[in-house]
Amino acid sequence: MPARTPARFRRIALIGRPGGPDLTLPLTRLATFLAARGHTVALDAETSQSIAVPAAATIADEALADTVDLAIVLGGDGTMLSVARRLAPHDVPLIGVNLGRLGFLTDIPLARLEPTLGAMLDGRFAEERRTLLAVTVARGDGSDSQAPALNEVVVNRGGLGSMIDCSVAIDGRFVYAMRADGVIVATPTGSTAYSLSTGGPIIAPQVPAFALVPIAPHALTHRPIAVPDTSTIEITVSRGRDAHVHCDGQAHFDLGEGDRVIARRAPHTARFLHPHDHDYFAMLREKLHWSESPERVKSGGR
């Protein structure tokens, strides 16, 4: 009997990270599963260059956003960050299959791939929108560079090892100047990444805020703060021979004295689909190894 025409997500792109874990088996398995359900399956151009999947065609990168209803990303959070930045302006929903380590954004384990994905494709999913940053590097010579960030933008010292002096303004108002290894502006998504390791707060995805987190400040009175995500944050390097700015750890720019990094909320959001029973705080317990489970608490810890 021929596969039925799916009610939703008829055209699906599969995207993996070449050079990561061997994707041939999971991609072939996933493409076969989707084709049997009646979905049209394709690989993005970069994935198809290193992996041949008979059940899947190839879509050129420039055509990807306009020709698919859903993208399934196989890999870790770094792969998902890259794909989310690329597809967010086109409102393409994303599902993540975890082949990495922590998997804050890629939440479907390979061992439960078919039943979990099948239920989601039948409509049993939770949708979540994640805020991105639009970052501009404004240089003293009048030139500028732009990049998006889903996790964070980081201004920090380079390999020479000396601290940098920088000043921070929010919505045109001076906030502070400090000497430090750097400063992070993190979205709620990025609050569980680099920001967390430097003492920043965890911000639930529904909270409309950015975290402004100093990195090893010389004065210990400089503490992380949360600001509305409607804010425009401007960081100026006043002194630093080897400063840099990094967006999601994947776009990098050198900074000179007097250069400014301007971060504001992007006009578009990343669109993630999770299993219908997705629980953000249960995910935090698992990924961050918080010790007590609800079952243990109810039983008195026995």
d(CA 25, CA 51): 10
Helix (H) or strand (E) holding 179: strand 173-180
Catalytic residue among 44, 77, 181, 259: 77
Closest CA to 78 of 169, 190, 206, 216: 190
CA 164 to centroid of chain Cα atoms: 27
* Residue 254 annotated in active site: no
Cβ 169 vs Cβ 232: under 8 Å: no
- In angstroms, the CA 181 to CA 248 distance is 17
Q: Are strands 125-138 and 164-170 parallel, antiparallel or unpaired?
A: unpaired
- Coil, strand or helix at 23: coil
CA distance 237 to 235: 7
Q: Which residues are catalytic?
A: 77
